[in-house]
Structures are given as C-alpha cells and as structure tokens.
Amino acid sequence: MSSMINSTRSIKLTFLVITMMSFYSPDADAFSRGLFKETNIKEKAFGLTLGVVGWQDDQPTPAIGFSLQFFGVYFDLMGLPINHRDDIGTETWIDETSFAAHIGYQLPITKTVRIIPIIGVADCGTVTVNGAVWHFENGNIVNDTKYNGDGVGGLDYGGILVIHHKKWNFSATYTNHTVYFAAAITWGN
C-alpha cells in the first residue's frame, strides 16, 4: 500500500512540474532586477484560499483561509474550526479539524507566471466533542473536546504556481499534506 501511495505522489509531482514548465516562455529579462522589482517589490496581494489538508494521508479535511504577499514574501494561514465546540446540546459529536500555515518567496518566471516554493506546517484529524461536559470561557459555553489521536501532518513543503492576470493572482498549491487554490487581488504595480 505504501509503495502505491509513493508512486501516486510521484505521478502527481511529475504532473505539477510538467504543468509548471508548460507555462514557461523564455523572457529576456525573466530574472532581471526589473522583473523582480516589478513583481516582488511593488506588488502586494491579499487572497482567499480554499483546499484540503491531509489529502495524501487518506484523511482529506477541508480548509479555508487567507494569503498575504508583501515584497515577494508569501504567507498563508488556513484551517477548519471545530463545528460543535459551542453547541448547547448534550450529545457527543465527532468533528474534523485542520490547520495549515506556510511561508515562501515568489520567483517570477515571466510577468504572468510565478512560482513560490513554500515550507510550513499542516495538521488534520478528528476530535470528540462532548456537549454534556462544558465550561464558560469569555462569557460563552465551550464544550469539552478530546483529540482522537488520528491526526496526520507535520512539516509541510511544496510549491505554488501563480498566474497573474490584470489585478488578480490565481494560484494552485501542491504540498506533501495539502492541495489548495487561491484568488488574490493585487495592488501597487
């Protein structure tokens, strides 16, 4: 089973690299100071992310979040909160939860195509929420939660393919624990 998962990862990684390379068109000043200045120093971006954490670990858990980019430095944060943490009922629920955070630096290939190598952390799992055991926290009811020990994740690394169109950056991210897409509005260029 492990070799099948590894071969699937290799196929997906190869597909991502081929896709990224297909967008590459030689640009005389692709790595010149002018292109870096235009895309990394002047341009800033804020975006929304939507994806899945734990997708390669056989525990896909949805996640939503945001991304920021200033001076070429990229940061994202996303996750899925516990659904029944503050419910009033006395039942017991099994909820999924996820978290991911990454940082990277944008490398412009052309004015339209950029890649961002990233590193960070990603984690997902399930929690048991017990509505019969609760306490007050900041004036709110908070139910007892217990992590079930089935979490997957850890160090997360990969890359982002960014396509810039007018004032928008559209991106697809592939890492060893996450896959997600984002749309970001840009300004300053």
Q: Report the alpha-carbon distance of residue 73 to residue 67 in Å, rounded.
A: 11
Residue 38 contacts residue 111 (beta carbons within 8 Å): yes
Domain extents in the chain = 2-187
For residues 111 and 36, the answer to whether their CB atoms sit within 8 Å is no
Per-residue model confidence as pLDDT tens digits over 95-116: 788 899 999 999 998 888 999 9
- State in words which class domain 2-187 has: mainly beta
pTM: 0.74
- In this structure, what is the dihedral angle of CA atoms 160, 65, 40, 111, given to the nearest 10 degrees? 50
Is the separation of the CB atoms in 173 and 51 below 8 Å? yes
In whole angstroms, what is the distance from residue 186 CA to residue 169 CA?
7
Nearest to 115 by CA among 20, 40, 13, 42: 20
pLDDT tens for 107-164 read 998 888 999 999 999 998 887 777 677 667 777 767 667 767 677 888 999 999 999 9
pLDDT of 29 reads: 47
Per-residue model confidence (pLDDT) at position 18: 60
- For the chain, the C-alpha Rg in angstroms (whole number) is 20
Alpha-carbon span 75 to 34, nearest angstrom: 23
CA dist 159 and 180 (Å) reads: 11
**Alpha carbon of residue 152 to chain centroid:** 15
State the pairing for strand pair 107-108/140-147: unpaired
